[in-house]
Amino acid sequence: MNPTRVQAKGNLEASMQAPTLFPTMTQSDPAPSRQELESTHKELSDYRDRLAADVLAMGRKLKLPRPMVEQNIAQHDELNRLDGVLRQLEAQIRTMAD
C-alpha cells in the first residue's frame, strides 16, 4: 500500500476524533474557584436547555407525538451526560459552601 495513502488515512482518522469535552484535572492544576464552578454550571445548564429545546422543536417540526419526543429527550446521550456533569458541579459547589 502507498505510504502516503496510509498517512493520509491516519490523519483523517485523527481529525475525526471528537475533542475531549471535559478534560480531567491533574495534580498540578489549581482547584477551580467557586465562581468558576458556578459560571461553568450556568454555561452548561444553558447549553443543556438549548439542546433540549432543539430536540423538542425538531419533534414538533416532524410532527412526532409528544410522548415520543419526551422519550427521545430522556434517552438522549448528550443530555444525559450533561445532566451527570451538572450534578457533579452542583455537588462540588455544595461542598465548597460547607
DSSP per residue, 35-94: HHHHHHHHHHHHHHHHHHHHHHHHHHHTT--HHHHHHHHHT-HHHHHHHHHHHHHHHHHH
Nearest to 44 by CA among 11, 22, 13: 22
Residue 11 CA from chain centroid, whole number: 25
Structure confidence by residue, pLDDT tens digits, 24-58 = 655 667 888 999 999 999 999 999 999 999 999 99
For range 5-15, the mean pLDDT: 47
Phi, then psi, of 31 in degrees rounded to 5: -65, 140
Cell of 65: 407525538
Task: Give residue 12's pLDDT band: very low, low, confident or very high (50, 70, 90).
Answer: very low
